[in-house]
Amino acid sequence: MTPAELFATVPVARLATVGPDGAPRLVPIVFALVGTDVIVSAVDHKPKRTRALRRLADIAAEPRVSVLADHYEADWSRLWWARADGTARVLETYAEGLEALVERYPQYRGTPPAGPFIEITVRRWAAWSPE
């Protein structure tokens, strides 16, 4: 399996951005792949204090991000991780990304995310597994 294929097998990944003070921020995200080198996520209807999320401000200031997907279980021979390093941008609308998210997550079929959307163009895939 390629790193992108492995990455796509998990329902949740972790997005790493850099804050204005240079400190990393890490948040879980739901996502979809558009093709093999674009990851999309969205600000959705899950409860939040504000729609002006720090990750969006971080991306506006520093678009380089990493996204990590992993699998853990007691049998360590089955562990793996896949990481996408890329450049992100924030989009108010993104039809193709919305379609991919709605197709992937049944929760979005009744209430699709209104955005904004995060589009990550993957520059480098990396992965590890014991096999």
Contacts of residue 7, defined as CB under 8 A and 6 or more positions apart, other chains included, come to: 13, 33, 67, 69, 82, 84, 125, 127
131 lies in some domain: no
What are 78-89's pLDDT values in tens digits? 899 999 999 999
Span 102-115, average pLDDT: 93
Token pair for residue 1? 């399996």
pLDDT of residue 46: 60
Domain coverage including residue 76: 3-126
pLDDT of residue 79: 93
Top pLDDT among 14 and 130 is at: 14
Alpha helices in 38-125 (DSSP H): 54-61, 95-104, 107-110
Report the CATH number that the domain containing residue 40 is assigned in CATH.
2.30.110.10
Going by pLDDT thresholds of 50, 70 and 90, the confidence category of residue 51 is low
Residue 52: is its pLDDT beyond 80?
Answer: no
58 lies in some domain: yes
Residues belonging to the chain = 131
62 lies in some domain: yes
Give the number of domains in the chain.
Answer: 1
Residue 48: is its pLDDT beyond 60?
Answer: no
Q: Whole-prediction pTM value?
A: 0.92
